[in-house]
Amino acid sequence: MQDTAISLIELGAVFFGLGILGRLAWKIGVSPIPLYLIGGLAFGTGGLVPLHGIEPFTHLASEIGVVLLLLLLGLEYSAGELVTGLRRSWLAGVIDIVLNAVPGALVALLLGWGPLGAFTMAGVTYISSSGIIAKVLGDLGRLGNRETPVILSILVFEDLAMAVYLPILTAVLAGVSFLGGLTAVGVSLVVITLVLVVALRFGKYVSALVDSPDPEVFLLRLLGAALLVAGIASELQVSAAVGSFLLGIAISGSTAANATRMLEPLRDLFAALFFVVFGLNTDPSQIPPVLPVALLLAVATCATKVLTGWFAARMQGVGRMGRLRAGAALVARGEFSIVIAGLAVASGAVPGELAALATAYVLLMAIVGPVAARVVEPVARMFLPSQAKKA
């Protein structure tokens, strides 16, 4: 009973603190994500006042937050728009891999971490944070912008690339044979293909399955379907984020509009917990030794992500300001990068310093990304006055 009381007090303090941070962010006109991360650092491992006893709840709640973020992002687009976007952006996706995976691999090799370390860090620096970017686009009211489908296409390409990368990484770290690694990749690709086919051909039946005139029943069906799909996708070595996103695009019409309206408050609540938990699990004392390398890596990969977004948006005929917004939006790294580093370090096949570098790097990028997305337009207008009326 005493433990329950303490947990309730700690959770109450966390939620109330999030409300204060969110209000502060709104007052100063920035995304609340960096403040949530810093708040997590202050009360996590090695922080000012470490919290204990709420880890099981906050961990699960943060996972639900990522699922809801990607589900609502998927609800914004149809399956046809997704396929069209992937067809148009595959070249940009390949360029994204080259520009953003190479810096991480080079740093790992220079630090003497070998091929496994290089392969791991390539994934850490390559993948943008779909969760952070989805939240930022919503906060800034850019979901309807012309460059947003381009950003979405890049994110989907990256998530699908992770469906291939993660099984290979897991197999290599575990010393599994080459054939075993190919089998894992094959399962991932089959699952993704099946879900896309269902979304394209049977989307109206998926919508009918979750729809209901009763709000309570509708919410229960929708949340249940999202968590089921995300869990099954994760069990089959496919990202839970990919699964929830694909479910979102399979739901269309009035069902999608009602789902968005009902889920937005829940998304914001659980997404805030996701970013706090990220900070809670980071020990601030580990950051200073690797900070110089993390800063250099952050500068390099900020530039490469902006180039990726600029190139992808230019291919779709987006104006110069829209290209800059697309590039800045892609800067943030987050949940996937931490998962990759955690898998590698837990296996014992790479040095423990890799976790510290990945944590410092992701923390920097998770803070810089939302800020960059916010300030890129006013800063660019100072130097591109002729673009003031162009997207």
**CATH (domain of 32):** 1.20.1530.20
Query: What proportion of the chain, given as a percentage, has pLDDT over 70?
Result: 83
Q: Is residue 391 part of a domain?
A: no
- Enumerate residue ranges in the chain where pLDDT < 50: 387-389
**For the chain, how many structural domains are there in total?**
1
Q: Is residue 39 part of a domain?
A: yes
Q: Is residue 356 part of a domain?
A: yes
Q: Is residue 384 part of a domain?
A: no
347-353 long-range contacts (CB < 8 A, ≥24 apart) are: 347/173, 347/174, 349/116, 349/173, 350/113, 350/114, 350/116, 350/117, 350/120, 351/113, 351/117, 353/111, 353/290
| Gap between the Cα atoms of 55 and 40, Å rounded | 12
Mean pLDDT of the chain: 81
Q: Is residue 383 part of a domain?
A: no
| Gap between the Cα atoms of 354 and 109, Å rounded | 12
Q: Output the six-digit token pair for 25.
A: 């962010």
> pLDDT value at position 324?
92
- Prediction pTM value: 0.72
> pLDDT value at position 182?
65
Q: Is residue 188 part of a domain?
A: yes
> pLDDT value at position 388?
46
Residue 313's domain comprises: 2-378
> pLDDT value at position 346?
72
Type of residue at 81: E
Q: Is residue 385 part of a domain?
A: no
